């Protein structure tokens, strides 16, 4: 008789959803990644997925920062365009 093969640990659902979501809505992926890390650090679940959650947080933070930078640049250019629109010809 052979010994049964142990099953791999279950992946944390929040980590997986956060990693997928970060490519669509970075803020949601960042929040889900943080929540997943907090669940995994509790240790009572016995789940894996810390790497997915960590990357969801990293990519989410970069996505949020780039979105914020984009809107700041856009508002700056919009302000300059509106100021230039009032110049006499």
Report the distance separating Cα 37 and Cα 24, nearest Å.
20
CA 73: distance to chain centroid? 22
pTM, rounded to two decimals: 0.81
Number of domains observed in the structure of the chain: 1
Report the distance separating Cα 3 and Cα 46, nearest Å.
22
In a domain, 74, yes or no: yes
Torsion angles phi and psi, residue 48, rounded to 5: -105, 180
In a domain, 71, yes or no: yes
Q: What angle do CA 8, 42, 32 make, to 5 degrees?
A: 80
In a domain, 4, yes or no: no
Domain that holds residue 77: 14-81
In a domain, 3, yes or no: no
In a domain, 77, yes or no: yes
In a domain, 64, yes or no: yes
What confidence tens digit (pLDDT) does each residue in 46-88 have?
Answer: 889 999 999 999 999 999 999 999 999 999 999 888 887 665 6
């Amino acid at each position: 008789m052979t010994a049964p093969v142990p099953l791999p640990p279950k992946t944390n659902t929040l980590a997986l959803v956060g990693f997928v979501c970060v490519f669509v809505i970075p803020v949601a992926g960042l929040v889900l990644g943080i929540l997943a890390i907090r669940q995994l650090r509790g240790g009572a679940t016995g789940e894996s997925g810390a790497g997915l959650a960590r990357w969801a947080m990293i990519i989410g933070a970069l996505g949020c920062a780039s979105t914020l930078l984009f809107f700041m640049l856009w508002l700056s250019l919009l302000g300059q365009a509106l100021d230039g629109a009032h110049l006499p010809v």
